[in-house]
Amino acid sequence: MDSSLGVAGANGTAAAPSVAELSSIFSQTEGPILVASFISCLLYGLLLHQSYRYLRLYSSDLLFIRVLVPVVILVETIYTVCSVHYCYHTFVSNYARPDAFLHNVWSGNLLPIVGITAASVTHIFFIRRVWMIGGPYRLLSVLAGAFHIAGTGFGIAVTVRGFVLNSPAAFTMKVWILGTCFALNVSADMSISGALLCVIYQGRSYRTRNMSIADKVAAYFVNTGILVFVLDMATLILAVTPHSNVNYGALQLINARMYAITLLSVLNSRPPESGKELRVMNGGPLHSIARAGRLATIQQWNIPQELQTGPTHITINVQTETGDDLSSQDSTKHLEIFEE
């Protein structure tokens, strides 16, 4: 990628730009990152609110989900610390020293790997969610997992380059590494979102429900991962666009936060009783218990379901009459038959 940073000189080393060039680069690149950091911190507050609501309403969730949420909060907190430290180091400690921009600070180098970790935690949940739909959608789940593992590898390579080169050129040169990393993330998002959207569209659970516009946006745009997919696609375009410097990093600061917000939006959109464990009081047919167990799993993972034909329900009324000279009694019994 063409960039004003790290331009090779005659001896093959990077030529140091002048103070005027550094000031221009500083305003063009660090300005968007500062604004994105403000937005990211606001989203972090929303994330904490979502986390509080989840911990208060779904204390009986599966152990995996109850462990996943605190891990997400921890990773997002580390991400916030890194972004705030980077902005403080750049705009406060070294505001009058534009030459400090020639070297990376540790928090800036850590941002890619922490963002990848945040995406990894949420992708595990969504990949499992698509897998539990069953059928041909499991292939999309496997593809999403493969894309994400490969993308994580390229993301780690970007982080290592940041520490080794200790220069912004680590994030502006070698475009194919960045492009491949974001392209694999886009492919993983496309596999997950495509499966969820297809099932929701074919199902009846959302069609038969009176939903407000906000609920529809949450169901179709946020909970399916479409919002994350759009942001990932925009980040990919900025990363491979010539002369974009590190502007894609500003969008990535917001996108990394949206992974966790999407996860908690899915968890908090369930009925409160979905987190409670299944109990069978007086026994029953094995197929009924299995169906109830699957229903509980679907509710806990908030899995959309395809349109299915329910069992045939037949109600038979049996009326008996007894009477004598003194009294008469009528009783009606209801017999319900479910045909699979």
Give the pLDDT confidence score for residue 197 in this predicted structure: 84
289 is a domain residue = no
Q: Give 272-333 as a DSSP string.
A: GGGGSPP--SS---HHHHHHHHHHHHHHHHT------PPPEEEEEEEEEEEE-SS-EEEEEE
What's the whole-model pTM score?
Answer: 0.74
Number of domains in the chain: 1
Question: 3-state DSSP call for residue 113?
Answer: helix
Give the pLDDT confidence score for residue 303 in this predicted structure: 65
336 is a domain residue = no
Q: What is the pLDDT of residues 268-291, one digit of tens each?
A: 888 776 545 444 444 444 444 455
Tokens of 250: 């500003």
Give the pLDDT confidence score for residue 271 in this predicted structure: 79
Lowest mean pLDDT among 19-23, 49-53, 92-96: 19-23
280 is a domain residue = no
Give the pLDDT confidence score for residue 6 in this predicted structure: 45
308 is a domain residue = no
Q: What is the pLDDT of residues 291-314, one digit of tens each?
A: 545 555 556 656 665 555 445 444
322 is a domain residue = no
Give the pLDDT confidence score for residue 165 in this predicted structure: 85
The rounded distance, in Å, linking the Cα atoms of 94 and 83 is: 16
CATH number at residue 103: 1.20.1070
Mean residue pLDDT across the chain: 76
Please give the residue that has the higher pLDDT: either 76 or 285. Answer: 76
- The Cα-based distances of 222 to 167, 214, 259, 266 in angstroms read 36, 10, 10, 8
Q: Give 224-237 as a DSSP string.
A: TSHHHHHHHHHHHH
Residue numbers of the domain that contains 252: 19-275
Is the Cβ–Cβ distance between 101 and 26 less than 8 Å?
yes
Residue 218 CA from chain centroid, whole number: 13
Tokens of 133: 């739909």
Nearest 5 degrees, angle CA 226-CA 112-CA 38? 70
Give the pLDDT confidence score for residue 249 in this predicted structure: 86
Sequence-distant (≥ 6) Cβ neighbours of residue 254 within 8 angstroms: 36, 39, 40, 43, 231
Q: What is the pLDDT of residues 97-115, one digit of tens each?
A: 767 777 888 998 899 889 9
